[in-house]
């Protein structure tokens, strides 16, 4: 088994969300949509404190990664606060700056702001690179995905997307119903176009798979979806402890591995996971997939090469 002297990969974190560790659901889990609304409200509530809570969480998170022997990380930051510490921190990997928005014009405005910031940060890249995260299919207008992916392909910028995480996401995208429809109405976006497609088919339709993104979660996937991911050369981040605590189902890891998809393990943030130690994520994955994937195959994912979509788009 990989030990603390190994080069471990934690493919999915949101270090800055460590300040919301108190929102992490218990072992028995919590429903996805109420949890994410609680997270949004918590972010609003600490806004008067500025960036200090996020900055402190990033510093603590980097220390935890180092202590657990992690040398490669795929981190998402919505505030931008983790970019500087990760660029300067000696860890390898990608820090993705996140954009979201259901109003098309507003979202595209945020994208151009993000592009400007990412271009600035990229001048300071070393072993840590800077990428773009377009948050998730239920929280982003399709134009944001189209334009974001087009830019990532043109500029060789790594892209990360949360996809196919919960049954509620399927219900929204296929049928236009369920908890996420209520979430969108609560944020006053009743006109979100329902694609009538699975999340992965929708990403393909939007041109997102051409950017060969790091796809986070990929729990709710059909065999056709797995084939789409394999064909595109995209990579997948598997976060079983976060999935369990948000009452998502079992990700079909054995099918991804059989299809030759690059899979890496990720802890996700401390707001939905009990630790940032990816070795503990591997143990959880071994227990979850005991009937279908050998333990050694799962431990091998801890140091899988090129796990974060670090590819040359040219
Ligand atoms: Zn995430």
Provide the sign of the torsion angle of the four alpha carbons 309, 277, 63, 245, taken in this order.
Answer: positive
Q: What is the pLDDT of residue 110?
A: 98
pLDDT of res. 3: 46
Residue 97 Cα, ligand 1 centroid: separation in angstroms? 12
pLDDT of residue 246: 92
What is the C-alpha to C-alpha distance for residues 92 and 89, in angstroms, rounded to an integer? 9
Cα 81 to ligand 1 centre (Å): 16
Ligand 1 centroid distance, CA of 24 (Å): 13
Rounded distance from Cα 12 to ligand 1 centre (Å):
6
Quote the pLDDT of residue 312.
41
For 133, half-sphere exposure in the C-beta direction (CA atoms, 13 angstrom radius) is: 28
Which residues have a Cβ under 8 Å from the Cβ of 47 and sit 6 or more positions away?
none
Its CATH architecture, for the domain 8-303, is: Alpha-Beta Barrel (3.20)
Give me the residues of the chain with pLDDT under 50, please.
Answer: 1-5, 311-314
Q: Which two tokens stand for residue 296?
A: 């050694």
Q: For the residues of 75-95, what is the DSSP string, one character each? A: EEESSSTTHHHHHHS--EEEE
Please tell me the distance between residue 267's alpha carbon and the centre of ligand 1 in angstroms.
9
pLDDT number for residue 2: 43
- Tokens 């890249």 label which residue? 125
> Strands, E, within the chain: which ranges?
8-13, 70-77, 92-99, 128-136, 159-163, 214-217, 235-238, 262-265
Q: How far is the CA of 90 from the centre of ligand 1 (A)?
A: 22
**Would you please indicate which residues are annotated as catalytic (active-site) residues?**
165
Q: What is the pLDDT of residue 314?
A: 32
Beta bridge partners of residue 128, listed in sequence order: 93
- Mark 23-36 as b/e (b = at least 16 C-beta within 10 Å): bbbeeeebebbebb
User: What is the reported pLDDT for 31?
Assistant: 87
> Per-domain residue ranges for the chain?
8-303
């Amino acid at each position: 088994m990989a030990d603390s002297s190994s080069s471990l990969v934690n493919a999915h974190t949101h270090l800055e969300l460590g300040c919301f560790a108190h929102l992490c659901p218990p072992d028995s889990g919590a429903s996805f949509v109420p949890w994410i609304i609680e997270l949004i409200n918590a972010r609003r509530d600490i806004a008067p404190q500025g960036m200090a809570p996020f900055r402190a969480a990033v510093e603590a998170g980097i220390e935890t990664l180092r202590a657990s022997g992690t040398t490669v990380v795929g981190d998402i930051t919505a505030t931008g606060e983790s970019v500087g510490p990760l660029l300067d921190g000696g860890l390898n990997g990608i820090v993705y700056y996140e954009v979201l928005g259901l109003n098309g014009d507003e979202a595209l405005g945020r994208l151009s702001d993000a592009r400007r910031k990412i271009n600035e940060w990229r001048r300071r890249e070393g072993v840590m690179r800077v990428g773009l995260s377009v948050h998730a299919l239920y929280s982003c207008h399709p134009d944001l995905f189209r334009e974001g992916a087009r830019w990532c392909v043109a500029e060789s910028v790594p892209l990360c997307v949360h996809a196919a995480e919960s049954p509620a996401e399927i219900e929204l995208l296929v049928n236009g119903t369920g908890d996420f429809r209520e979430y969108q109405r609560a944020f006053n976006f009743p006109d979100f176009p329902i694609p009538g497609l699975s999340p992965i088919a929708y990403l393909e339709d939007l041109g997102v798979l051409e950017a060969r993104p790091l796809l986070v979660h990929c729990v709710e996937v059909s065999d056709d979806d797995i084939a789409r991911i394999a064909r595109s050369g995209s990579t997948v981040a598997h976060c079983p402890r976060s999935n369990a605590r948000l009452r998502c189902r079992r990700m079909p890891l054995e099918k991804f591995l059989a299809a030759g998809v690059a899979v890496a393990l990720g802890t996700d943030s401390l707001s939905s996971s009990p630790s940032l130690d990816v070795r503990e994520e591997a143990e959880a994955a071994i227990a979850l997939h005991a009937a279908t994937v050998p333990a050694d195959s799962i431990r091998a994912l801890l140091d899988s090469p090129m796990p974060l979509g670090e590819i040359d788009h040219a």
